Amino acid sequence: MVDLDIVIMKDEEVGRYISLVPSLLGCHKQGDTLEEVTENTRETISLYAETLISQNSTNPTNIFEFNSFLG
């Protein structure tokens, strides 16, 4: 199991939320609401993990656990 830090910021200029996962290169997402960016980030992390597994970079079960998001 891996715990990930997730950074969520609000872009005041456009009124959207932006998230990034510093430990996963290129893993970032955006959304109109905090709930939307949270769900989008969960999906992106899952796709990232699926890609790692399909490329045999790692082969864990449930590599990432979603406990909570702090903004």
Containing domain of residue 52, as a range?
1-71
Q: Please report, for the domain that includes residue 29, its CATH number.
A: 3.30.160.250
Distances in whole angstroms, Cα of residue 20 to Cα of each of 13, 14, 48? 18, 17, 13
For 11, 41, 66, 71, the CA distances from 8, given in Å and listed in that order, are: 10, 10, 15, 5
Averaged over 33-55, what is the pLDDT? Answer: 90
Q: What percent of the chain has pLDDT over 70?
A: 77
DSSP-derived secondary structure letter, 24: S
Residues 7 and 25 sit within 8 Å (Cβ to Cβ) = no
CA pair distance 31, 10, nearest whole angstrom: 10
- If one counts the domains in the chain, the total is 1
Q: pLDDT: is 15 or 64 the higher one?
A: 15
